[in-house]
Amino acid sequence: MSKRSLPASVSSQPAPELVTQVQVDLLQWYRTHQRDLPWRATSDPYAILVSEIMLQQTQVERVLPKYRQFLAAFPTLAALAAAPTAEVITVWAPLGYNSRAVRLQAIARQVIAEYDGHIPISIDALLQLKGIGRYTAGAIACFAYHQQVATVDTNIYRVLHRIFLGLEYPQPRITNDQMFTFAEQLLPVGEAYNWNQALMDLGATVCSSANPQCARCPLQAQCMAYSEMGQYSLFPGGAVLRQLRKVAEQKTSYETKPFTSTNRYFRGRIIDHLRSLPATQRVMLADLGPIIKTDYEAADHAWLLTLVQGLAKDGLVDFQEDGLRLP
């Protein structure tokens, strides 16, 4: 383990014997229970980059078929960089969050222009790619180049917090940035790849956000959150977490805006309609409005214009006086 001190928000370092036991138990569990995912069968940094961008805010089950289709359409970084953006956006459907497709292509083009077509190896260099954050940089460095580095997504954050720091509700005891420092100190020697994948698998299949399956967890005996939940008169698990989460978020159902009335929903409908048109065909705002919103009226023009301008700024549409189309 690293000798650097933990973040100040963590009162004390976990005992070395505790860390060792967690490492042994989790890696043993992973050898038996690891998910069979296609991006784990490759060390191609481009394929891993594609998977990581797709997995942002999207469940694995939805990504699996699209991952294969996308790589069939754009098998190399150079192929993606050279493709028309409209084609990239079209192939991306129906994953949603379409700006990720544009960002992925922009990364490919930057790598071609600045790195001779080779995705950088170091985290510092990866972070110079526009749209690459610390998690994605760490994932590429670890999963493609097998570097001994930590990476922290939502699953890893949740598992490490619960095991070593306790419940993340009602108030997390460590920030996301601090968790990267913490995670680096927990890496088992020579096992960063398996360790990071194991943490993600445990968080995705056992230690879920709202309904953890504590009885199936290989780390139950070492888990501080499990011990804390045992102080409640409820069964340790989802019931406690759901109540704590509700208090922390201080939300009620009537405060939640239906997705079908959000700007994100209508942005998606605009892109979906443009995908259905011939590549060079444009559509005027006046014609687009009633297509994406059944009760569209003249007063909605300013709202629609703002949506389209936002899509154009994000590189998702080409918007001119004669209408808009995919770029």
Per-residue pLDDT tens digits for 62-84: 999 999 999 999 999 999 999 99
Beta bridge partners of 319: 324
In the predicted model, is pLDDT for residue 29 greater than 60? yes
How far is it, in rounded angstroms, from Cα 325 to Cα 271?
A: 9
Is residue 115 within 8 Å of 128, Cβ to Cβ? no
How far is it, in rounded angstroms, from Cα 94 to Cα 28?
A: 37
In the predicted model, is pLDDT for residue 4 greater than 50? no
> Encoding tokens for residue 224?
């501080």
Please write the tens of the pLDDT for every residue from 150-183.
999 999 999 999 999 998 877 788 888 899 999 9
Cis peptide before 94 (omega within 30 of 0): yes
Alpha helices in the chain (DSSP H): 16-33, 45-55, 60-73, 77-82, 85-92, 99-114, 123-126, 134-143, 154-160, 176-185, 192-205, 224-229, 238-249, 263-275, 285-292, 301-313
Distances (CA, A) of 176 to 32, 152, 173: 29, 8, 10
Note the pLDDT of residue 231. 66
Query: Mean pLDDT for the chain?
Result: 87
How far is it, in rounded angstroms, from Cα 316 to Cα 307?
A: 11
Note the pLDDT of residue 169. 77
Phi and psi at 141, nearest 5°, equal: -60, -40
How far is it, in rounded angstroms, from Cα 174 to Cα 168?
A: 9
Instruction: Tell me what the mean pLDDT of segment 85-89 comes to.
Output: 94
Note the pLDDT of residue 251. 46
Note the pLDDT of residue 253. 42
Note the pLDDT of residue 2. 39
Using the Cα atoms of residue 80, residue 85, residue 89 and residue 91 in order, give the sign of their dihedral. negative
Distances (CA, A) of 293 to 97, 259, 262: 19, 14, 12
**184 included as an active-site residue:** no
Instruction: Sketch out the chain's domains with CATH numbers.
Output: 16-35+150-249 (1.10.1670.10), 44-143 (1.10.340.30), 259-325 (1.10.10)
Note the pLDDT of residue 293. 83
**For residue 55, which amino acid is it?**
L
How far is it, in rounded angstroms, from Cα 89 to Cα 289?
A: 21
pTM exceeding 0.75? yes
Note the pLDDT of residue 7. 53
Instruction: Identify the DSSP state of 13.
Output: P
In the predicted model, is pLDDT for residue 122 greater than 50? yes
In the predicted model, is pLDDT for residue 9 greater than 70? no
Tell me the Ramachandran region of residue 122: left when phi exceeds 0, alpha when psi lies from -120 to 50, beta otherwise: beta
How far is it, in rounded angstroms, from Cα 215 to Cα 219?
A: 10
Note the pLDDT of residue 8. 53
Is residue 93 within 8 Å of 274, Cβ to Cβ? no
Query: Catalytic: which of 52, 87, 191, 255?
Result: 52
Percent of the chain with pLDDT over 90: 55
